[in-house]
């Protein structure tokens, strides 16, 4: 009987094994094409890459995970952000100061992660504000904007914010040429009066602090996009140009007449040397430099009053023009630094220039004339090859580190994979629809992580459930680990992502900050001990030194405030526990709420206009007693004699 | 007797580990604390496993009316335990040396072991008393006053040893490095006593 049972059992086991094997076989077939499994990040698991997508007209930067496409955070950069109080709190308002006053919005385009030796180091991410030219630096340990510098003499800050391979400079080029210095002249005197500035902003290797080192004043073209040389071409920077016609009206026609525009090759090392030896002309300027201090939790603005300009003709051998067909848009440099790719957006073909050939042509002085005194190299002398793509409207190119390049085609809505050196097209896949930029993590560095490419599209149409006339843009993720690209996911993106930057999670995640240390809080109005809360009147101004901890404010009853007072609530979050922010809002506040991270101090101004007793409360569901986290402020008439007093638990 | 005495000298020295390593460890994990909060109990005071754990444990416990965790000066134990341990180490080493010089016999070794064991049991008893007080002496105005299914007020005594589910927290209490070193040291003195006893039988 026993033997019989064993037999039955072992047969059972064998059957199970067989059926398992069969199941595996059949699902193996499915697995090789299972897009779902490739993007599925199971609950509790984490993504392999961070992706930072610019928000375009949202002015901000959004953080996503790859391959899941899940959005983790929106980092406020150039726009007021009521969610956290960025740009509303007294501490962060100076971040948005410019020479034009408070500018609470911008058009954020091209994020770029700091590099060391041409590889991503994950210290900071930079992004440009296009409309009121600015460059921002965001910490990749706090994921907060730490610094914004305005770029004078620039307009349409578009060929920005790309960094050199040791983060020596973050470079910002102007898309629109303007009179430099700005002055009152007729627009039709564009030619020879308007100039294009290319700004080299140095980055302090320790703190990341930015300083506008010099501006190269170039002919009045449109400087569209740029990328640094790397490896052998380190020390050079490449900018695409259009409107070499120097049209000032109806550019869509008038700036599309020349068969070829240029890629400007700038030897910034040479100009740096010139500037370090006292070269250049200091001219008056007025631009804001806004710096956030993590220890005081406050931003300050410094207005800078002059800028060093460089006339390219004064530095022989510093700038050359490489003829490039059809109003080139994207300007991308391969991981080796050898190939400079100009994407002629009005053509079907890609133009690839060779760095070695360019150097040889310069050394051989084989010029094809000049433009405003800047030597033009012969197209044939610098050309490495052309990619006959069969697509239309090439825009941007990224690299996988395995000798392949991936180019987006706006008009024909596709990504085309091609081989560097042979220029043959390997694969093409449609995008949905009208793709702009694409991004491979590290895809514009010496060391790309060629596993996924994200295509960011301009038009959404039917990809998601309709949400009225206005819809989010759409992005697609392709697996590029094989010979052919495979579309594996489609997800909506916030704002209008132009460019993006990706980085392996294992570089950033371990150093992501969890709290701010209360014992390092140097905010002048911080309450760092539980007994330090107080209310101080200085004429019409009242300063409330308030602290929060689960689940109460100290103090939570305040009397003696009068109509016409300007009440500053300086709130310090005493939590030292990860992910326990407290919020603050008071009825009738003419500004946003505050969201205060553990150990942080933020300030909101309230100008009560009506007599009464007005409540304030915590806006972030912090704890089981969150609903009880509230308080009252008694507001008396302006002439009242009610004494200032405050309390908790009395 | 020489080997036994050497063991008797080395064994008590293991107790010095208590000045560096925690005696006991209590970990508190919950769904919203995937990285659990932790309490290391040293002979000289309580320390968080991570820097702000004590503050965060106190913060959570105030909802159920528990007292804050004691600072070293708030409990006599944290002042006297280091002295007791130090005294026992010196005493043990002296006994070992005297044994080596043949001034005392193995019975002194046993004596030290028994004394240390009594101290240990008393220490555990005292520790448990504190846990009972900590977990049951609750603020009558506590924010949350929870009751057991039988209607009795819920108390929150952490286990002396092992795991208990307490509201949303999984509480695990186990001896830590210092205790294991102490245990190993005491075992060495026991071995010393055993070897000394064998030796004395041989000589007889």
- Residue of chain A whose alpha carbon sits nearest to that of B143: A625
Do the Cβ atoms of A550 and B59 come within 8 Å? yes
B94: its two tokens: 């002296």
- Residue of chain A whose alpha carbon sits nearest to that of B55: A576
Give the best residue of A515, A578, A598, A622 to mutate against chain B (max B CB count within 10 A): A578
In chain A, the percentage of residues whose pLDDT exceeds 90 is 91
Do the Cβ atoms of A576 and B55 come within 8 Å? yes
Residue B193 is predicted with a pLDDT of 93
Is the CB of residue B52 less than 8 Å away from at least one CB of chain A? Answer: yes
Q: B18: pLDDT confidence band, cut at 50, 70 and 90?
A: very high
Do the Cβ atoms of A576 and B143 come within 8 Å? no
Give residue-wise pLDDT tens across range A253-280: 988 888 999 999 999 999 999 999 999 9
Pairing relationship of beta strands A557-562 and A630-636 according to DSSP bridges? parallel
- Cα separation, A385 vs A352, whole angstroms: 5
Best CA proximity match to B43, nearest among B16, B4, B13:
B16
CB neighbour list of residue B50: distance below 8 Å, 6 or more residues apart: B35, B37, B38
> B35 vs chain A: nearest CA distance in angstroms?
10
> Which chain B residues have a beta carbon less than 8 Å from that of A624?
63, 144
Give residue-wise pLDDT tens across range B59-83: 999 999 999 999 999 999 999 999 9
Residue A37 backbone phi and psi in degrees, to 5:
-65, -30
> Which chain A residues have a beta carbon less than 8 Å from that of B63?
623-625
Do the Cβ atoms of B59 and A624 come within 8 Å? no
Q: What single DSSP character describes residue A460?
A: -
Q: In angstroms, what CA-CA distances link B127 with A586, A592, B42, B46?
A: 48, 51, 12, 12
Do the Cβ atoms of B63 and A575 come within 8 Å? no
> B52 vs chain A: nearest CA distance in angstroms?
6
Give residue-wise pLDDT tens across range A59-117: 999 999 999 999 999 999 999 999 999 999 999 999 999 999 999 999 999 999 999 99
Task: Calculate mean pLDDT across residues A606-621.
Answer: 97
Interface of B with A in 112-151 (CB under 8 A): 143-144
Is the CB of residue A625 less than 8 Å away from at least one CB of chain B? Answer: yes
In chain A, the percentage of residues whose pLDDT exceeds 70 is 95
At residue A68's C-alpha, the angle toward residues A65 and A74, to 5°, is 35
A584: its two tokens: 């603050």
- Residue of chain B whose alpha carbon sits nearest to that of A623: B60
Residue A439 is predicted with a pLDDT of 98
> B24 vs chain A: nearest CA distance in angstroms?
23
- Residue of chain A whose alpha carbon sits nearest to that of B58: A550
Task: Calculate mean pLDDT across residues A584-603.
Answer: 97
Residue B1 is predicted with a pLDDT of 75
Do the Cβ atoms of A625 and B143 come within 8 Å? yes
Residue B40 is predicted with a pLDDT of 97
> B56 vs chain A: nearest CA distance in angstroms?
7
> Which chain A residues have a beta carbon less than 8 Å from that of B59?
549-550, 575, 577
Is the CB of residue B59 less than 8 Å away from at least one CB of chain A? Answer: yes
Residue A374 is predicted with a pLDDT of 97
Give the best residue of B52, B62, B139 to mutate against chain A (max A CB count within 10 A): B52
Task: Calculate mean pLDDT across residues A588-593.
Answer: 96
Do the Cβ atoms of A515 and B52 come within 8 Å? yes
Residue A21 is predicted with a pLDDT of 41
- On the 0-12 / 13-18 / 19+ scale of CB atoms within 10 A, A286 is middle
Do the Cβ atoms of A550 and B56 come within 8 Å? no
> B47 vs chain A: nearest CA distance in angstroms?
15
Do the Cβ atoms of A625 and B56 come within 8 Å? no
- Residue of chain B whose alpha carbon sits nearest to that of A550: B59
Task: Give me the residue from B52, B63, B144 closest to A576, CB to CB.
Answer: B52
Q: Are B175 and B22 in contact (CB under 8 A)?
A: no
> Which chain B residues have a beta carbon less than 8 Å from that of A46?
none
- Cα separation, A41 vs A36, whole angstroms: 10
Do the Cβ atoms of A624 and B56 come within 8 Å? no
Residue B202 is predicted with a pLDDT of 83
Residue B84's SS3 state is: helix
- Residue of chain A whose alpha carbon sits nearest to that of B32: A579
Residue B2 is predicted with a pLDDT of 86
Give the best residue of B33, B49, B55 to mutate against chain A (max A CB count within 10 A): B55
Three-state SS across B106-154?
A: HHHHHHHHHHHHHHHHHHHHHHHHHHHHHHHCCCCCCCCCCECCCCCEC
> Which chain B residues have a beta carbon less than 8 Å from that of A576?
51-52, 55-56
Residue A346 is predicted with a pLDDT of 84
Interface of A with B in 459-478 (CB under 8 A): none
In chain B, the percentage of residues whose pLDDT exceeds 90 is 84
Residue A111 is predicted with a pLDDT of 98
Interface of A with B in 550-569 (CB under 8 A): 550
Q: B203: pLDDT confidence band, cut at 50, 70 and 90?
A: confident
Q: Decide if pLDDT at B47 tops 80.
A: yes
Is the CB of residue A577 less than 8 Å away from at least one CB of chain B? Answer: yes
Residue A290's SS3 state is: strand
A280: its two tokens: 């250049």
- Cα separation, A62 vs A48, whole angstroms: 17
Do the Cβ atoms of A577 and B56 come within 8 Å? yes
- Cα separation, A426 vs B92, whole angstroms: 80
Give residue-wise pLDDT tens across range A458-501: 999 999 999 999 999 999 999 999 999 999 999 999 999 999 99
> B60 vs chain A: nearest CA distance in angstroms?
8
Give residue-wise pLDDT tens across range B97-126: 999 998 998 999 999 999 999 999 999 999
Do the Cβ atoms of B55 and A550 come within 8 Å? no
Give residue-wise pLDDT tens across range A320-330: 999 999 899 99
- Cα separation, A364 vs A375, whole angstroms: 12
Q: Decide if pLDDT at A560 tops 80.
A: yes
Residue A15 is predicted with a pLDDT of 42
3-state helix, strand, coil in chain A (%, to 5): 15, 45, 40
Average pLDDT taken over every residue of chain B: 93
Residue A33 is predicted with a pLDDT of 60
Interface of A with B in 54-73 (CB under 8 A): none
Q: Decide if pLDDT at A645 tops 50.
A: yes
Best CA proximity match to A542, nearest among A573, A572, A584, A570:
A570
Do the Cβ atoms of A624 and B52 come within 8 Å? no
Task: Calculate mean pLDDT across residues A352-368.
Answer: 96
Q: Decide if pLDDT at A13 tops 80.
A: no
Task: Give me the residue from B52, B63, B144 closest to A577, CB to CB.
Answer: B52
Residue B111 backbone phi and psi in degrees, to 5:
-55, -45
- Residue of chain A whose alpha carbon sits nearest to that of B34: A44
CB pairs under 8 A between A and B: 18
Residue A32 is predicted with a pLDDT of 52
> B157 vs chain A: nearest CA distance in angstroms?
22
């Amino acid at each position: 009987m026993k033997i019989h049972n064993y037999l039955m059992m072992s047969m059972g086991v064998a059957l199970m094994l067989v059926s398992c094997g069969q199941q595996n076989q059949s699902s193996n077939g499915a697995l090789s094409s299972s897009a779902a499994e490739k993007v599925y990040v199971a609950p509790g698991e984490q993504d392999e890459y961070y992706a930072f997508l610019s928000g375009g007209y949202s002015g901000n930067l959004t953080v996503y995970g790859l391959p899941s496409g899940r959005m983790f955070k929106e980092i406020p950069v150039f726009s007021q952000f009521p969610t956290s109080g960025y740009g509303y709190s007294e501490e962060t308002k100076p971040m948005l100061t410019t020479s034009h006053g408070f500018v609470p919005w911008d058009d954020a385009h091209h994020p770029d992660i700091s590099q060391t030796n041409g590889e991503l180091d994950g210290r900071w991410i930079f992004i440009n504000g296009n409309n009121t030219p600015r460059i921002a630096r965001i910490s990749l340990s706090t994921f907060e904007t730490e610094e914004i510098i305005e770029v004078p003499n620039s307009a349409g800050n578009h060929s920005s914010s790309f960094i050199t391979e040791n983060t020596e400079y973050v470079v910002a080029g102007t898309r629109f040429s303007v009179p430099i210095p700005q002055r009152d002249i007729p627009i039709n005197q564009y030619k020879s009066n308007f100039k294009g500035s290319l700004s080299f902003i140095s980055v302090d290797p320790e703190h990341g602090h930015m300083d506008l080192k010099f501006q190269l004043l170039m002919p009045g073209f449109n400087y569209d996009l740029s990328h640094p040389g790397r490896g052998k071409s380190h020390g050079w920077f490449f900018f695409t140009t259009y409107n070499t016609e120097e049209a000032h009206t109806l550019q869509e026609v008038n700036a599309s007449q020349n068969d070829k525009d240029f890629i400007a090759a700038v030897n910034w090392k040479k100009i740096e040397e010139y500037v370090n030896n006292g070269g250049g002309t200091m001219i008056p300027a007025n631009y804001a430099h806004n710096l956030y201090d993590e220890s005081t939790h406050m931003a300050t603005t410094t207005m800078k009053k002059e800028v060093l300009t460089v006339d390219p003709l004064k530095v022989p051998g510093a700038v050359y023009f490489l003829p490039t067909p059809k109003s080139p848009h994207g300007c991308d440099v391969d991981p080796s630094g050898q190939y400079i790719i100009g994407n002629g957006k009005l053509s079907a073909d890609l133009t690839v220039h060779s760095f070695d050939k360019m150097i040889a042509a310069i050394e051989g002085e084989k010029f094809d004339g000049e433009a405003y005194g800047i030597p033009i190299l012969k197209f044939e002398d610098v050309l490495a090859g052309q990619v006959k793509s069969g697509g239309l409207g090439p825009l941007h190119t990224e690299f996988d580190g395995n000798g392949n390049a991936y180019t987006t085609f706006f008009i024909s809505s596709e990504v085309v994979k091609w081989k560097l050196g042979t220029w043959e097209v390997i694969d093409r896949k449609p995008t949905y629809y009208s793709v702009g930029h694409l991004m491979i993590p590290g895809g514009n560095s010496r060391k790309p992580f060629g596993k996924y490419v994200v295509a960011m599209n301009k038009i959404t149409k039917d990809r998601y459930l309709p949400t009225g006339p206005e819809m989010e843009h759409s992005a697609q993720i392709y697996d590029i680990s094989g010979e052919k690209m495979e579309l594996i996911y489609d997800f909506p993106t916030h704002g209008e992502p132009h460019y993006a930057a990706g980085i392996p999670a294992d570089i950033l995640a371990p150093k992501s900050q969890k709290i701010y240390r209360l014992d390092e809080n140097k905010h002048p109005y911080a309450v760092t001990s539980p007994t330090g809360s107080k209310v101080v009147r200085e004429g019409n101004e009242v300063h409330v030194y308030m602290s929060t901890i689960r689940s109460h404010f100290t103090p939570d009853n305040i009397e003696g405030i009068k109509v016409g007072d300007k009440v500053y609530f300086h709130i310090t979050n005493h939590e030292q526990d990860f992910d326990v922010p407290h919020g603050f809002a008071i009825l009738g506040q003419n500004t946003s709420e505050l969201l205060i991270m553990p150990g942080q101090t933020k300030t909101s101004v309230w100008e009560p206009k009506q007599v009464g007793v007005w409540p304030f409360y915590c806006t972030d569901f912090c704890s089981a007693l969150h609903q009880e986290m509230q308080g009252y402020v008694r507001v008396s008439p302006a002439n009242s004699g009610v004494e200032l007093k405050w309390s908790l638990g009395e | 007797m020489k080997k036994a005495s050497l063991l008797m000298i080395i064994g008590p020295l293991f107790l010095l580990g208590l000045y560096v390593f925690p005696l006991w460890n209590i970990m508190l994990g919950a769904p919203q604390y995937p990285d659990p909060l932790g309490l290391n109990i040293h002979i000289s005071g309580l320390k968080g496993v991570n820097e702000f754990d004590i503050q965060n444990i106190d913060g959570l416990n105030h909802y159920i009316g528990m007292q804050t965790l004691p600072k070293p000066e708030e409990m006599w134990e944290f002042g006297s335990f280091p002295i007791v341990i130090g005294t026992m180490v010196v005493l043990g080493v002296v006994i070992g040396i005297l044994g080596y010089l043949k001034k005392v016999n193995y019975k002194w070794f046993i004596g030290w072991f028994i004394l240390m064991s009594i101290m240990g049991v008393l220490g555990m008893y005292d520790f448990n008393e504190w846990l009972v007080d900590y977990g049951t002496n609750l603020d009558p105005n506590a924010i949350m006053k929870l009751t057991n299914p039988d209607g009795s007020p819920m108390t929150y005594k952490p286990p002396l040893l092992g795991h208990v589910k307490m509201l949303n927290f999984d509480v695990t209490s186990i001896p830590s490095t210092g205790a294991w070193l102490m245990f190993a040291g005491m075992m060495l003195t026991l071995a010393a006593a055993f070897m000394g006893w064998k030796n004395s039988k041989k000589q007889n």
